[in-house]
Amino acid sequence: MARCRRCILTSVPAHQGTDELGPAANEGPTKVERTVEVERAPEDEGSITPLAIGFVVIALLLAFLVAALTDLHMARRELQSVADSAALAASDSFEPAPGGEPGLVFSPPAAKRAAGRYVAAVPTPQGLHNVRLNADVDGEHSVVIRLRAGYTPSLLSPFVPDLLELHATAYARGSLRIN
């Protein structure tokens, strides 16, 4: 580490009054010059512009990532909402139980038709495309609806047409109450 030395020349007034030099020291305003050495740190030379540009780039990438993840989360919630509503529509596709006992029976083809009618009637959420439906019966009293859709983030849509596939599963249970 290099240090620079700088010499400073200062003027100090001579002593006024009497002292050990005698009366000759008081004869006029004479000045005594002395040299003082001062050590100073080297001056920093450079620029913080590259550092500032780097921080701005990192901040913009972080903001882009947060926006893309928020968009993904909202698309997933919208797909889940459509799946829940389709499951409710499919739960209305029950058939009476065979035999003399009261009850409900679900069939996969009827559940798929009812859920398909609902999904076709509802507008597809933005960013989701190629929605595929799968309906199944879980036991005798429940319907399971599975939706799959291709998802393209709105910020990346010009660059990546089919980036992710989202899945949503919804269950609906039908029951019959007899009083």
Per-residue pLDDT of 34-68, as tens digits, reads 666 667 777 777 788 999 999 999 999 999 889 98
User: Do residues 45 and 69 lie in contact, with contact meaning Cβ atoms separated by under 8 Å?
Assistant: no
Model pLDDT, residue 104 = 76
Residues 6+ positions from 128 with CB-CB distance below 8 Å: 75, 78, 79, 149, 150, 151, 166
What was the pLDDT predicted at 167? 93
Alpha-carbon distance of 92 to 113, in angstroms, equals 11
pLDDT of amino acid 1: 45
Amino acid identity for residue 169 in this structure: T
pLDDT of residue 24: 53
d(Cα 157, Cα 68) in Å, to the nearest integer? 11
The verdict on pTM exceeding 0.75 is no
Q: Which tokens is 9 given? A: 């020349």
Closest C-alpha among 157, 82, 154 to residue 122: 82
pLDDT of 12 reads: 53
Cα–Cα nearest to 154, from 60, 69, 78, 77: 69
CA distance 129 to 81: 15
- Residues 96 and 17: their CA atoms lie apart, in Å, by 125
pLDDT of residue 129: 84
In three-state secondary structure terms, 19 is coil
Chain position carrying tokens 């709105």: 154
Low-confidence ranges of the chain (pLDDT < 50): 1
The pLDDT score that the predictor gives to residue 58 is 97
pLDDT value, residue 138 = 79
| Residue in the block written with tokens 């050990």 | 20
Query: DSSP 3-state assignment of 58?
Result: helix
Reference 97, options 23, 178, 21; nearest CA is 178
